[in-house]
A and B are shown apart, each in its own frame.
Chain A
């Protein structure tokens, strides 16, 4: 089982819809959870991060973490064609004086139809 799993899609929804992107993980040591958006042939762009279980909202984006079921979600309200991209979840750990980097899922390819 991979440490971080995402459905690669593509997920196609009409403009204005609410989008739900999901991610599961297996490593209980993950302490913080990042979401990145990546346009084709570009570097990932940080959208949000959260430490704890529960919801965190930023504009049209809401990140949700359920540590008990190891499930991470990103909701996008009022989706726009410019939201069409690949969305990557990336949990991370911090262990004392070391760093384990971020562990990325494969990403979900999202298409917003005008």
Chain B
């Protein structure tokens, strides 16, 4: 059974550009969450989607947005990239809204230059 898959695995962007990251949850999981992990820190919560609706949002600027599709896959968009957006972006999927047994993908490493 496939786990959480994220694409791309690595990405280099220039300041001011926009980026879209993609996530496919575990089959049967209806909730997808996005986290940002800066080097040396723990992951920080960005968004949680459940049944295609945003159900939670962390303390991130409006440059960050996301959506969930009918097949429960998700995209995270970041506009007007800053150097400080360089991080590992992690997607986690869970069966329901409760985040017990939230399983993470391998992440997308974004470098902004």
Contacts and interface: CB of A to CB of B under 8 A. Distances in A.
Interface of A: 4, 6, 8, 32, 34, 36, 41-46, 49, 51, 88, 90, 92, 94, 97-107
B56 A99 contact: yes
Given A8-B40, A88-B42, 14 more contacts: A32-B99, A42-B106, A43-B104, A44-B104, A46-B102, A49-B101, A51-B100, A90-B43, A92-B98, A94-B97, A94-B98, A99-B48, A99-B55, A101-B58
Interface of B: 4, 31, 33, 35, 40-46, 48, 50, 55-56, 58, 88, 90, 92, 97-107, 109
Contacts of B103: 46
Contacts of B92: 102
A24 to B, nearest CB: 14
A101 B101 contact: no
Contacts of B106: 42-43
Nearest to B53: A97
**Residue of B97, B100, B109 ringed by the most chain A CB atoms within 10 A:** B100
Nearest to B49: A99
